[in-house]
Structure 1
Amino acid sequence: MKKTDIAKILQAYKTGTLSEEDTVAKIAETPFEEMKFAAIDHHREIRQGMPEVIYAAGKTPEQVRDIFYSLYIHSKGNLLATRARREHYEKVLEKVPAAEYDELARAVYLDRDKSMVRDEQHQILILTAGTSDIPVAEEARLTAHLFGNSVKTYYDCGVAGIHRLFAHLSDIEKANVIIVIAGMEGALASVVGGLTDKPVIAVPTSVGYGASFKGVAALLSMLNSCATGVSVVNIDNGFGAGALASKINKLR
């Protein structure tokens, strides 16, 4: 249920086509569903604009299937399960045949708004330092897209060949929000932060040799950035970056 659905219910009550009892019943639908292994938040779409997102890692294919299906029948928005394996996807298909799988982003999703017209004047730009950062970037891209944003990406434009980044300066200047994804020493976030007056969301990745400590080095570098307007999400958290960028992008 979306806020527009609640408005229609109230309008129906106002015009007398819906009784008070039925109106209360529709609005007071159970806000969450208790399963043996999950309590699904069916009112999240009302509060946040998109149904609950499933974190598939650690869940069985059957659990992901049942949660995905419950969200499917109780909502109208796009659906997303992150960190999903193909086994999760194959199970979801048993109940939601229209679901799709993005192997690079490691996500099962349902795009119900493929015909949506996205605001090209308020665009999210995603940049990665290297090719190895792309899986995290694709998770961010898909998340932002499913949340209804226009998204552009440029990959492998890190500081080791900084001229590659400068080739995209016009798009950096046009973007409304920028996501910068980098492993190793994570320097790209500071460079981009110094080139724009728009918010930059930095995502450290676990890409790098031993002393990168699986992303900790990039995380600390980004947290200590001297560029203003740079915020940082957790290591490899493409979903978190995409969701936050969407919220910022939709502020008017």
Structure 2
Amino acid sequence: MDLQNSLRELLNSLKRGELDVDEVVEKLSFLPYEDLDDVKLDWHRSIRRGIGEIIYTPGKSDEQLIKIAKSLSEHRANAIFSRMTKDKYEMLKSFLPNMEYRDDSRLALCRFETPIGRGGVAIIAAGSSDRPVAEEAAGVAEFAGCKVKRFYDVGVAGIHRLFPYLPEIRKSSAIVVVAGMEGALPSVVAGLVSTLVIAVPTSVGYGASFGGLAALLSMLNACSGGVVVVNIDNGVGAGIAAALVAAKDEAR
């Protein structure tokens, strides 16, 4: 059965009272993607997850990126291009004039619709060098509709810098903590709050940090409970996780 017939049958089932609205929405989330040969765009991801396509830019050809941009424009679909360089943005902005580019996070945000409102997310960065990854997480969470507050350069080398912000941080629905070096900050923060802490190890550090591996292992071995860990430099994954947590909190 093709997409058009599937939609017609679904709507007829609603009309006949065989399905209610929530059941129709659930079934819509499983309908086909758009097949552009070597690119397949999942337009119903926002129905299933509440967040649309996030397109990882490195490794994609100019032809593929242009194909994606044209389809986004045609469908007026919200999407994020991650790890995008400025020259790729310049290439695509004629197809997506509403696209916003953020140098600090290398995110290109394409928004046609206002996202649903979500709870608050705190983004905490241990050092200024962790800012690009922190901004990636912040940008994704903001794009998903979260109210984001940033607290930067408050790492364990001067942990007293964190304390004045704790009352504000504790109001958040989700907390993202970004740190390189030995990666100790997420465990410290988790011991001071009642909220889930999403830890992001970064590749910032000297030789034996092994490109973020030391921070990753430290966070995985956090003494404080309630710390979950994403991959090294994965601000996108942390932003999505925070947005999903914040959405559940806002719904209560």
User: Once structures 1 and 2 are overlaid, which stretch shifts more, 92-101 or 132-141?
Assistant: 92-101
Task: After TM superposition, give the deviation of residue 55 of structure 1 in Å.
Answer: 0.4
Matched, 1:68 2:76: no
Assess, with a 3 A threshold, how the Cα gap between structure 1 residues 40 and 211 changes in structure 2: closer, same or farther: same
Tell me the alpha carbon deviations over residues 7-45 of structure 1, each in whole angstroms, 9 at most, x when there is no partner. Answer: xx949x739xxxxxxx9xxx6996222223212212212
Matched, 1:231 2:228: yes
Equivalent AA in structure 2 for residue 67 of structure 1: I
Matched, 1:245 2:246: no
Q: Which of 170, 183, 187 lines up with 1:186 in the alignment? A: 183
Alignment of 1:95-244 (within 5 A): 95-113=95-113, 118=117, 122-244=119-241
Q: Is the CA contact (8 Å cut-off) linking 1:130 and 1:157 kept in structure 2? A: yes
Q: Is the CA contact (8 Å cut-off) linking 1:186 and 1:218 kept in structure 2? A: yes
Which residue in the other structure is 2:49 paired with?
Answer: 48
Q: Is the CA contact (8 Å cut-off) linking 1:60 and 1:88 kept in structure 2? A: no
Task: After TM superposition, give the deviation of residue 75 of structure 1 in Å.
Answer: 4.8
Instruction: Return the alpha-carbon distance in structure 1 between the equivalents of residues 50 and 90 of structure 2.
Output: 27
Which residue in the other structure is 1:20 paired with?
Answer: none
Tell me the alpha carbon deviations over residues 203-239 of structure 1, each in whole angstroms, 9 at most, x when there is no partner. Answer: 0000000100000000000000010100000000000
Q: Output the aligned Cα RMSD.
A: 2.4
Instruction: Return the alpha-carbon distance in structure 1 between the equivalents of residues 220 and 30 of structure 2.
Output: 43
Equivalent AA in structure 2 for residue 172 of structure 1: I
Instruction: Return the alpha-carbon distance in structure 1 between the equivalents of residues 54 and 76 of structure 2.
Output: 12
Instruction: Return the alpha-carbon distance in structure 1 between the equivalents of residues 155 and 161 of structure 2.
Output: 7
TM-score between the two structures when normalised by the length of structure 1: 0.84
Which residue in the other structure is 1:14 paired with?
Answer: 15
Equivalent AA in structure 2 for residue 90 of structure 1: E
Assess, with a 3 A threshold, how the Cα gap between structure 1 residues 39 and 154 changes in structure 2: closer, same or farther: same
Instruction: Return the alpha-carbon distance in structure 2 between the equivalents of residues 28 and 192 of structure 1.
Output: 37
TM-score between the two structures when normalised by the length of structure 2: 0.84
Q: Is the CA contact (8 Å cut-off) linking 1:201 and 1:230 kept in structure 2? A: yes
Task: After TM superposition, give the deviation of residue 176 of structure 1 in Å.
Answer: 1.3
Give structure 1 stretches of 5+ with no counterpart.
1-5, 16-22
Which residue in the other structure is 2:83 paired with?
Answer: 83
Task: After TM superposition, give the deviation of residue 93 of structure 1 in Å.
Answer: 1.1
Q: Is the CA contact (8 Å cut-off) linking 2:34 and 2:43 kept in structure 1? A: yes
Instruction: Return the alpha-carbon distance in structure 1 between the equivalents of residues 143 and 187 of structure 2.
Output: 28
How many residues matched? Answer: 231
Instruction: Return the alpha-carbon distance in structure 2 between the equivalents of residues 145 and 137 of structure 1.
Output: 12
Assess, with a 3 A threshold, how the Cα gap between structure 1 residues 28 and 45 changes in structure 2: closer, same or farther: closer
**Secondary structure, aligned partner of 1:174:** coil
Task: After TM superposition, give the deviation of residue 117 of structure 1 in Å.
Answer: 8.0
Give structure 2 stretches of 5+ with no counterpart.
1-6, 17-23
Equivalent AA in structure 2 for residue 84 of structure 1: M
**Secondary structure, aligned partner of 2:170:** helix
Task: After TM superposition, give the deviation of residue 118 of structure 1 in Å.
Answer: 4.2
Task: After TM superposition, give the deviation of residue 247 of structure 1 in Å.
Answer: 0.6
Assess, with a 3 A threshold, how the Cα gap between structure 1 residues 248 and 221 changes in structure 2: closer, same or farther: same
Q: Is the CA contact (8 Å cut-off) linking 2:57 and 2:81 kept in structure 1? A: yes
Equivalent AA in structure 2 for residue 174 of structure 1: K
Share of identical aligned residues, percent?
48
